[in-house]
Structure 1
């Protein structure tokens, strides 16, 4: 096989297309494409002498193995470059992996951006002694919305399916999750289920009239959202500590997690760092996996993730290194 053909295959491997299509386009076997892919291994090997100041970590659904279905990803929060992708999110595996980095590299990490996962927090004690946890803002608001929506479903199910209250709470649920400031109160539209012209604000009022409990929870959530939008940590925690005792116990307990992670929430409100880039990369990984109809071997899945995500940095000289191997 000529070097030119190897270069074309190597370039195609940096694009989000399946190996099957690469084989068809270049009239080669899958084994040939696999051999070219194997040569990328050296190019994506991490440097154990560097870690970024801001380290974003998360997990995603990967290949099924003896280590579980979930894999681990860590990203540079400033350059948005993937540091590495690991086959397991288990704490002992993560500690073993990060211990390979030099002490200077590990001590250079100042912020560990993550969701509300207790296991990841233990990395601070064992691996990154100079870092503080930053709770991802997306997961804060997601937790608030998820629990309000669960309460809506419970209240909705107290009505019969034929009743208007059930139908309205099911159809217009998105209005309950909107910020009160974003709910339109000027534009009237005809709504068949109400048989009249209403604004979104008027529909919201009718939904809340169906359930006093839902109305109390909605007002509580709006107070939280206002403090969140203002990045007012003290007000946010004050609302959490003074939650209405008349709300269901299970609902109140769901917000105790914010007390546990209040230090991380404080950092989320006072620093600009978030896991937004990691969530975006996770979505790209889902696309890579879907286009390939899944992967059986994690090593090949990892290689494709790294070379596709870093495709802009794969200059012609890098492809030549792969080909000349």
Structure 2
């Protein structure tokens, strides 16, 4: 049975019968091949082409698998087979690289994947299934020394393994911490202090209870920029 593309909303299969030939000269048997499916595979090439077409859209692998009536692993293998045929130039790296991680499917590498972008063009450079340092070092060390030495800036978050990765693979690169992560870190630290002060206030005392309610309900106001504050309208308590 060979899996074909859906016909309407119904799953379609092809019952394929192959001929076997017997060579009278050598005595060996061999089976005829068909262009519809690869050897030792039950998924037609047409389905694989559909998967590749779906991969051009911004959607989850799980969605593609469900639409094609396949497992997520099969979709991943199709994507891996495509990437294997696309040879990456190992003598070039952008002058500015942006490192980040994102939550992906749970694999043997973990729940997070690694993304690398060209900081000058804003285009995606590559995606790796692992964000572990040893895997990233093995990936970047494939590039020529000249290409790695040409990287000038690495924009990343405050993930410590990335710092040692940059020193090992890109000795000429300057590390730049993304300001979003700096602001996020400061906001979390400020919020911890706010909660600590709230725990020290006695809610049975009228004046302290007032401060407690203000700190609890106006936490977003405390994080606002000074330019966004309204000094003319006051809220009564």
Taking structure 2 as the reference length, what is the TM-score of the superposition?
0.66
Q: Is residue 2:70 matched to residue 1:30?
A: yes
Q: Who is 2:193 aligned against?
A: 151
Cα distance in 2, alignment partners of residues 19 and 63 from structure 1: 9
Q: Is residue 2:139 matched to residue 1:93?
A: no
Q: Mean Cα displacement is larger for which, 92-101 or 11-20?
A: 11-20
1:88 to partner: Cα distance = 2.9
Cα distance in 1, alignment partners of residues 62 and 148 from structure 2: 40
1:85–1:5 CA distance, 2 compared to 1 (3 A): closer
Choose 1 or 2 for highest CA Rg: 2
The counterpart of 1:58, out of the listed 100, 122, 125, is 100
| SS in structure 2 at match of 1:125 | helix
Matches within 5 A, 1:32-47: 34=75, 37=79, 39-42=81-84, 46-47=88-89
| SS in structure 2 at match of 1:134 | strand
| SS in structure 2 at match of 1:157 | helix
Cα distance in 2, alignment partners of residues 57 and 105 from structure 1: 17
1:61–1:114 CA distance, 2 compared to 1 (3 A): same
CA RMSD of aligned residues (A): 3.1
1:82-112 Cα shifts (integer Å, max 9, x gaps): 2222233332322222111111111110001
1:132–1:147 CA distance, 2 compared to 1 (3 A): same
1:77 to partner: Cα distance = 0.7
Q: Who is 1:173 aligned against?
A: 219
- RCO comparison, higher one (Cα < 8 Å, 6+): 1
1:125 to partner: Cα distance = 2.6
Give the number of aligned pairs. 189
1:18–1:150 CA distance, 2 compared to 1 (3 A): closer
Provide structure 2 residue ranges, at least 5 long, that are not aligned to the other structure.
5-35, 37-44
| SS in structure 2 at match of 1:178 | coil
1:162-186 Cα shifts (integer Å, max 9, x gaps): 7232222111111111111221223
More helix by share: 1
More strand by share: 2
Cα distance in 1, alignment partners of residues 107 and 71 from structure 2: 23
